[in-house]
Amino acid sequence: MTRSKLSSRLMATAALGAVLLSPLPALAKDEAAKTPATTTATAKPEIGDFGFDLSGMDKSVQPGDDFYAFANGTWAKNTPIPADKSNYGMFTALADLSQKRTREILDVAKGDPNSMIGRAYASYLDSAAVEAKGLAPIQPWLTKIRSVDKAGLAKLLAEADRSGVQHFFGGYVGQDDKNPDVYIYTMFQGGIGMPDRDFYLKDGDRNTKLQAAYLKHLENVLGLAGEQNAAARAKAIYDFEKQIATVHWDKNDSSDAVKVYNKMTIAELAQAAPGFDWSTFIRGIGVNEDTLLVAQPSAFTGEAKLIAAAPIEVIRDILTVRSLDGFSGVLPDAVAKEAFSFYGTALSGTPQMQERWKRAVDFTTNNMGEAVGQDYVAKYFPPETKAAMDVLVKNVLAALDTRIGNLTWMQPQTKVKAKKKLANFTTKIGYPDRWKDYSKLDIRADDLFGNALRSNQFAHDDNISRLGGPIRRWEWGMTPMEVNAYANFGMNEIVFPAAILQPPFFDPKADAAINYGGIGAVIGHEISHHFDDQGAKYDETGKLADWWTPQDVAAFEAAGKALVAQYDAYEILPGERLDGTFTLGENIGDLAGLTIAYDAYKKSLGGKPAPVIDGLTGDQRFFLGWAQVWRRNYREQNLSQRITTDPHSPSIQRAWVSRNLDPWYKAYSVKEGQKLYLAPKDRVRIW
């Protein structure tokens, strides 16, 4: 799930992710009645007797020692990770289902020459044509790279940017955080081929092996491009990237909404980061405004200096590697397999590439997602699911409204503003009300590389065209086929694509406790992102602003520090601990989401006791519903990478957040001395 500043080209992830235009409603009894508390013979859920897979539990484990293993241990032991996956769990199972359903749609569409998505899909499936063309489709671009000099570099990088080739920095048009009714171009640091600066700068056996594998990858890609003396040139690339890594901001500073808000004119950027022709680059990508947001100013200063001093041959080689890696999926298998060998296997531990039809589905949905989405939701997202989800969202919103009113640490004037922010939420469920128009995108059944290039250019141009226009509040940052959800601070919205609104997250026929523990907590997670360590910095209009009193800030930060310490203590792999600061927003989302979902569940019972089902009380089922959605097995390399790059905690620790909720202790008779036990004073309570 995700919290974000959205654009079509970038979603900055920090948490897990309806349209509520009227003031926040109270939890009406008729709404509560619409959410079933029990299953019936005529409404059997898809999973088990009441929506939970009892066979996946390991009852030999005490819940107070390891609640994840208690709820999911047998599933974890008996569930292998497919060869084409770096991890496998409930998200990936639903993603596989979504992929399979989309294939059925595209298999029909590919027989229709008038279908854009059919032509795109067919072009990817035609591997014989791709192999026959070899590198010919990308050669004109590689020739440009080989002939560029320092004087022409800014112009070439602008073309690279529009074509989707990563280089030394990136950018996108999004809302101005301090003026959310206006779009602005934001620039952010880049220039490294591994996912984070830490992969270059931190010691340890795992990083040493990754560095060697990456160096070999650089050599192999240069060889595939036909370059001579590839080993020495690869070393020069690596050394240059390591220099860039030293000037990069770390992930915690880069995730701080206040620190990354740095408004500059082009002239001011040129003065702060001399050595690069910023005006030519920025005008070249289509930005005609003079004011920008520069996320990490000192990194731009450092990178500009490094680019100015670097031999042009090294710059050319970096762009060659980025181009082949970036387009590897639409080039011959030799290129695709080489990219996968590092980014799939070395970095994530995945032994095997996906079958070509799966990659063809992903290619089509990545580039024309809403064109595919229209067919997907018509076939697989019934109106009843959307209606039932709308009820749940309103109930969880109402629960947080009540909880804000009862907070002891928040000042009365801040509570008024917090409630106003909550009342201004927009909720999007399932799919957009207004679909994206792809009519200007040229897709051909016999031109896979061209389809990829033109799709990148279309996305770039569409993003840049936002400048000077009204805020596109109808737009989505995910497709209906994505198994995820997000919170968008600038839009003050929470968004739930169709594909996540399925078991085990949500089943209208399942027991209410399971639904509230599953999708209810996900809803709460996304809502609470707007009140987490970063989301709380945005007011009810989506503006980055100070609206808390100093006392509120102090109390909130104190609770946050306690949660940071709790997660800092988790050693995920030998010698590799979670960064509680980096994961704080997501951990707040989990803690607050589960807390308010529990309140909403209890309220939904209308004052009546929950029935006992299969020997389990309502509270026990609620927490099992939460734990079930986090079933996931990881390959070790993938888990290690996530510790460095993913702001979400691993699934086991996400299930463990229940140790902060008093009702969990009562539900499972958790006692002092058990591994997850926290004394009442040590249980973190925020919202």
511: pLDDT strictly greater than 50: yes
410: pLDDT strictly greater than 50: yes
Q: What percent of the chain has pLDDT over 70?
A: 94
Per the DSSP assignment, residues forming a β-bridge with 613 are 616
Mean pLDDT of 226-245: 98
Q: How far apart are CA 534 and CA 584, in angstroms?
A: 9
- 241 or 687, which is more confident: 241
Tokens of 243: 């220099």
pLDDT of residue 233: 98
Spatial neighbors of 609 by CB under 8 A, at least 6 apart, are 618
Q: Are strands 291-294 and 179-189 parallel, antiparallel or unpaired?
A: parallel
14: pLDDT strictly greater than 50: no
Q: Among the listed ranges 27-31, 555-559, 587-591, which one has the minimum average pLDDT value?
A: 27-31
The model carries a pTM of 0.92
Mean pLDDT of 313-341: 98
Q: How far apart are CA 412 and CA 404, in angstroms?
A: 10
Taking each helix axis as running N to C, give the angle between helix 550-568 and helix 584-604, from 0 to 180 degrees, rounded to the nearest 10: 100
Contact 585, 534 (CB under 8 A): yes
Tokens of 367: 């580039």
The half-sphere exposure of 30 on its side-chain side, counting CA atoms within 13 A, is 1
CATH homologous superfamily, domain 135-330? Neutral endopeptidase , domain2 (1.10.1380.10)
Per the DSSP assignment, residues forming a β-bridge with 573 are 576
pLDDT tier at 586, thresholds 50, 70, 90 = very high
41: pLDDT strictly greater than 60: no
pLDDT of residue 31: 28
Domain boundaries, the chain: 2-100+360-436+475-682, 135-330
Which residue, among 260, 244, 261, has the nearest Cα to 252 in the 3D structure? 260
Three-class secondary structure of residue 40 per DSSP: strand
Q: What percent of the chain has pLDDT over 90?
A: 93
Each residue's pLDDT tens digit, 375-405: 999 999 999 999 999 999 999 999 999 999 9
Mean pLDDT of 279-306: 98
Each residue's pLDDT tens digit, 351-382: 999 999 999 999 999 999 999 999 999 999 99
Tokens of 20: 């509520």
Mean pLDDT of 158-181: 97
37: pLDDT strictly greater than 90: no
Q: How far apart are CA 651 and CA 129, in angstroms?
A: 42
Residue positions counted in the chain: 687
Q: How far apart are CA 389 and CA 206, in angstroms?
A: 43
pLDDT of residue 638: 97
Domain 2-100+360-436+475-682 = CATH 3.40.390.10: yes
pLDDT tier at 3, thresholds 50, 70, 90 = low
Compute the chain's Rg from CA coordinates: 25
Each residue's pLDDT tens digit, 441-481: 999 999 999 999 999 999 999 999 999 999 999 999 999 99
What backbone phi and psi angles, to 5 degrees, belong to 408? -95, -20
* CB-neighbour burial class of residue 311 (10 A; exposed 0-12, middle 13-18, buried 19+): exposed
Residue whose pair of structure tokens reads 């065209």 in the numeric block: 465
pLDDT of residue 20: 25
6: pLDDT strictly greater than 60: no
Q: How far apart are CA 600 and CA 509, in angstroms?
A: 18
pLDDT of residue 533: 87
- 437 or 38, which is more confident: 437
Mean pLDDT of 638-655: 96
pLDDT of residue 588: 95
pLDDT of residue 1: 66
Q: How far apart are CA 351 and CA 344, in angstroms?
A: 8
417: pLDDT strictly greater than 50: yes
9: pLDDT strictly greater than 50: no
Average pLDDT over the chain reads: 93
pLDDT tier at 43, thresholds 50, 70, 90 = confident
